[in-house]
Structure 1
Amino acid sequence: MAGTRSTGAKRKSRNHVQQDDSSSPATAARDGQTALALRIAEHLAPPPPCATSDRSAAAGDGGGNVAFSPVSVHAALALAAAGARGATLAQLLAFLGAPSAEGLADFCRRVADRVLDDRSGSGSGAGGPRVLFGGGIWVDASRGELTDAFRDVAAESYKADARTVSFTKEPEEAVKMINEWVKKATDSLIDSVISVDDVDAATDLVLANAVYFKGEWMDPFQPTSTSTGTFNLLSGVSSNPEFIG
């Protein structure tokens, strides 16, 4: 992401995620997240089948850039795994490449703590970046009441809200609750992601995750420094876009 270099006082590096040995459940969950990110990237933006001089073919499916958050996808599915059992849990763990729900929860807690470490609220120091991270799960009342244990895991390990709603009897209220969460999680940058047309009697749950970032360049870009250069695509085709100086 462009413009993510942070400002503020220098801090000693503290790695909260990779302090386990290579055989620990949290480390396995970390490796699973990396593998999942690569699989999603290949699915969203597959490499061109062969080198070609046709610029439209070099763009894959012809549609622009792709941006996604592997952490968000992983955290949302891991949150679902925290409340799953039996075959559903086994399938989620296999997909996420994690040995256990406990290992997932431990890893996700460390990631969330690392992301939010001294970077919530007004940022890390004067002029520092502002980072918000959180998740949410809204389960239809027909599936039963959420347990206190699950709510605790959701809040402590996934920084997530866990609520029971009724997508069939009170769809407007459920949708309003979800959109209000999204608005708060993105500091009002996004105020709506779902409508009543998106839920029905078949909707058992809705998962959400949000990562919000606001920061400034340490060294601001000067428009007068723009220059034209050569950009080489994976297909072998070259273009001449404008570059930041």
Structure 2
Amino acid sequence: MQVLLVGLFVAAVSASDVSLQEFVSSNTQFSASVYKRVSKTTDGNFLVSPFCTETILALVQSGCKGETAQEIVQALGLPLDQAKIEASISAVLPALTQTQNYTLNMANKIYVKSDFEINPQFKNLARDVFGTESESIEFGRKQKAAQTMNAWVENQTRNKIHNLVSPQDLNDRTKTVLLNALYFKANWSQAFPVAYTFNNNFTLLSGEVIQLDLMRHYQKHFNFVENTSLKSKFLELPFEGGQASMVVVLPNRKNGLVQLERQIDKVFMAQELSKETVTVFLPRFKIETTTNFKSVLKKMGVNKVFDQSQADLSGIAGKKGDLIIDKIAQKTFIDVAEQGVEAAAADYYLIALPLSGPPKSIKMFKANHPFIFYIKIHGVIVFAGRVTNPTA
């Protein structure tokens, strides 16, 4: 796929480090909330990027006022202080994107109805803090508007996400469309040898057994833990450089996914992983998902921003009630294979331990039944999802 110095010294924690850790905390909570809602309304495999939605909504709330802003802040778990929100974003975006070990391209864009003039202060904040551009567009010219927005998404995701916006979604009354695009590609710190991939059984939630290819690592060192309370195994597969990794969470029972998902808050919490010798079996899989985040957010208590009689986005443009959010859609894609991972979203490491002898205990991690996974960078959950059928 595509993370100790000992001595006498005075350590200083930078403000950006504190802001990053605060963001990690809120991101973990938000990721669990999103996963919980999506899993209840989606059958089979799915992939979401809570991080995408989190960043674009943090921007939107910067242009909201009163209870409209409060609802978004509470759902995201962000601090009430706008300066702290901006400090968190200013800390996390460079931390995630400024690296040569993997590719992470992220872009936000806000399209606003052409007869609304964007508040210059908001436009500057969007550009300087969030790296977001805003653009006026004529939604009434539905075909052209959709083509314009979809072309932007395709370009930002290296042609992995197509047709995010449908012309049927647009009309003269459409006032705002939020787009967030995220492209991630990374190589495993140690690739799965292609020659080790073999055909084996995979048991679906229905009990049906299918045949598919399982990638394999034989007695390698990975961060691993068996969580007895969650009745599951956690395996961390690092990407080159160590800042990013994929965590795979495998229920002990072949039909244990549903029970595990009921405790998703604990699943996404930091685990006490330790370096172990592990034989790993993991299927190759591809997932593409479209998620209506407006529905998800309403279930999380975000309502006013969608209601013309209550929405106050006057910090973006117009006055209270002039501007509302019509659509928040996210389309995601991931491809997991022997060499690494390629993933995209549009929102509308391995240290070998020296062995002095045979390993004391070899752990087995055989993902031959449904599991949860998430990709994190510097602790931030960027993608999360589940695999119920790798061949679907």
Please, what TM-score do these two structures have when normalized by structure 2?
0.46
Q: In the alignment, is the contact (CA less than 8 A) between 1:29 and 1:107 conserved in 2?
A: yes
Question: Using the alignment, how far apart are the partners of 2:89 and 2:174 within structure 1?
Answer: 26
2:137 to 165, 180, 190: 165
Residue equivalent to 2:275: none
Residue equivalent to 2:193: 222
When residues 108 and 165 of structure 1 are mapped into structure 2, their CA distance, relative to the original with a 3 A threshold, is: same
Q: In the alignment, is the contact (CA less than 8 A) between 1:16 and 1:111 conserved in 2?
A: no
Structure (1/2) with the larger strand percentage: 2
Question: Using the alignment, how far apart are the partners of 2:195 and 2:282 within structure 1?
Answer: 11
Question: Using the alignment, how far apart are the partners of 1:214 and 1:174 within structure 2?
Answer: 29
SS in 2 for 1:163: strand
Q: In the alignment, is the contact (CA less than 8 A) between 1:17 and 1:107 conserved in 2?
A: no
* Aligned AA (2:165): I
Structure (1/2) with the larger helix percentage: 1
SS in 1 for 2:187: coil
Shift of 1:130: 2.1
1:198 to 169, 184, 191: 169
Q: Deviations for 1:201-220, whole angstroms, at most 9, x for unmatched residues?
A: 33221111111022333433
**Paired residues, number:** 205
Question: Using the alignment, how far apart are the partners of 1:39 and 1:17 within structure 2?
Answer: 27
Question: Using the alignment, how far apart are the partners of 1:171 and 1:17 within structure 2?
Answer: 45
Shift of 1:136: 0.9
1:67 and 2:25 are equivalent in the alignment: no
Q: Tell me, which stretches of 5 or more residues in structure 2 are unaligned?
A: 4-12, 204-231, 233-249, 257-280, 284-337, 339-392
1:130 and 2:92 are equivalent in the alignment: no
* Aligned AA (2:136): T
Residue equivalent to 1:44: 38
Residue equivalent to 2:67: 87
Residue equivalent to 2:253: 236
Identity among equivalent pairs (%): 20
RMSD over aligned Cα, in angstroms? Answer: 3.3
Shift of 1:223: 3.1
* Aligned AA (2:37): H
Question: Using the alignment, how far apart are the partners of 1:154 and 1:71 within structure 2?
Answer: 17
Q: In the alignment, is the contact (CA less than 8 A) between 1:171 and 1:196 conserved in 2?
A: yes
List structure 1 runs of 4+ shifted beyond 4 angstroms.
Answer: 15-18, 26-30, 227-235
When residues 27 and 243 of structure 1 are mapped into structure 2, their CA distance, relative to the original with a 3 A threshold, is: closer
* Aligned AA (1:212): Y
1:105 to 76, 81, 86: 86
1:139 to 87, 112, 119: 112
Q: Deviations for 1:148-175, whole angstroms, at most 9, x for unmatched residues?
A: 221221122222111122213x333432
1:155 and 2:127 are equivalent in the alignment: yes
Q: In the alignment, is the contact (CA less than 8 A) between 1:109 and 1:157 conserved in 2?
A: yes
Q: In the alignment, is the contact (CA less than 8 A) between 1:29 and 1:103 conserved in 2?
A: no
Q: Deviations for 1:72-100, whole angstroms, at most 9, x for unmatched residues?
A: 01012112112212221122112222213
